Amino acid sequence: MKPNNTKPISNSEQSNSNSVQSNMQYQETSTSSSAQSKSNSALPSLGEGSGVGIRVGMGFDVHRFVEGRDLWLGGIKIECDKGLLGHSDADVLIHAICDALLGAANMRDIGYHFPDTANETLNVDSKILLKKVIDLIGERGWKVVNIDATVCAERPKLNPHVPAMKACLAQVMGISEEDVSIKATTTERLGYTGREEGMSAYAVALIAKGDS
Ligand SMILES: [Zn+2]
């Protein structure tokens, strides 16, 4: 990943807990007891956060293969004659998951919080970045519901490593392995991943507040 900004989060981007509270109050004082009416009370208003305590986010990342680097993926080291190039350990899967989580919480992206010009993130273990992202969204009251991710790579074969990656990432995020899905695919030798120039990863994250 490469950062494209380093602007600090402004007050206007802080928590929208007020809108959540007002929706809850509206539900509590509603005189209707029908399920349909309760459902309608949670519909979003134009120009505001929905107030619904569940959000989805997506992430995407790419790193280039180079010789002389270790290959880190999903928090584990995988035997390979090449590694991924990056300021951090270049764990493309973790970076995509971080962006999915931050996107779900509407808290910008990984490059915004961890610029690749910072000494602290030079060759950093991306599991540390993922844990910090969990803490960041946690400060706003968000918990991870589940993650679904896909890694695109021509080689090495990744499927044998999926169970270890799931166990590692679930532990870092503090959730069950059942809530971490990792899939591996090739691009049928098409494009930059097909030419083995690099790896890409996609991730979707669902997060929730309170007892949603
Ligand atoms: Zn990255």
Q: What is the 3-state secondary structure (H, E, C) of the chain?
A: CCCCCCCCCCHHHCCCHHHHHHHHHHHHHCCCCCHHHHHHHCCCCCCCCCCCCEEEEEEEEEEEEEECCCEEECCEEECCCEEECCCCCCCHHHHHHHHHHHHHCCCCCHHHHCCCCCHHHCCCCHHHHHHHHHHHHHHCCEEEEEEEEEEECCCCCCHHHHHHHHHHHHHHHCCCHHHEEEEEECCCCCHHHHCCCEEEEEEEEEEEECCC
48 and 87 belong to one structural domain: no
Report pLDDT for 161. 97
Q: Is 171 exposed, middle or buried (0-12, 13-18, 19+ CB in 10 A)?
A: middle
pLDDT tens digits, 17-38:
444 444 444 444 344 444 444 4
The torsion angles phi and psi of 152, rounded to 5 degrees, stand at: -105, 120
In-domain check, residue 8 = no
Same domain, 87 and 182: yes
* 91 C-alpha to ligand 1 centroid (Å): 6
Q: Assess whether pLDDT exceeds 90 at residue 199.
A: yes
pLDDT at 13: 44
Cα separations (Å) of 171 from 97, 166, 211? 14, 8, 22
60 and 43: one domain?
Answer: no
Ligand 1 centroid–CA 95 distance in Å is: 5
Domain containing 119 — which CATH number? 3.30.1330.50
Residue 47 shares a structural domain with residue 61:
no
- Tell me the residue type at 23: N
pLDDT at 16: 44
From ligand 1's centre to the CA of 109, what distance in Å? Answer: 11
Identify whether residues 34 and 117 lie together within a single domain: no
Question: Do 43 and 138 belong to one domain?
Answer: no
Distance (Å) from CA 26 to ligand 1 centroid? 42
Q: Does residue 133 lie in a domain region? A: yes
Residues 104 and 39 in one domain: no
Over 80: is that where the pLDDT of 10 sits?
no
Higher pLDDT, 1 or 196: 196
Residues of the domain holding 103: 54-209
Please tell me which residue, 50 or 190, carries the higher pLDDT value.
Answer: 190
Q: What's the gap in Å between 203 CA and the centre of ligand 1?
A: 12
The rounded Å distance from CA 86 to ligand 1 centre is 7
Residue 135 falls inside a structural domain:
yes
Quick one: pLDDT at residue 50? 79
User: Quick one: 62 and 38 in the same domain?
Assistant: no
Number of independent structural domains in the chain: 2
Instruction: Compute the distance from residue 124 Cα to the ligand 1 centre, in Å.
Output: 12
pTM: 0.78
Q: Is the model's pLDDT at 140 over the cut of 60?
A: yes
Compute the average pLDDT of residues 164-175: 98
| Token code pair at residue 121 | 């993130």
Residues 41 and 59 in one domain: no
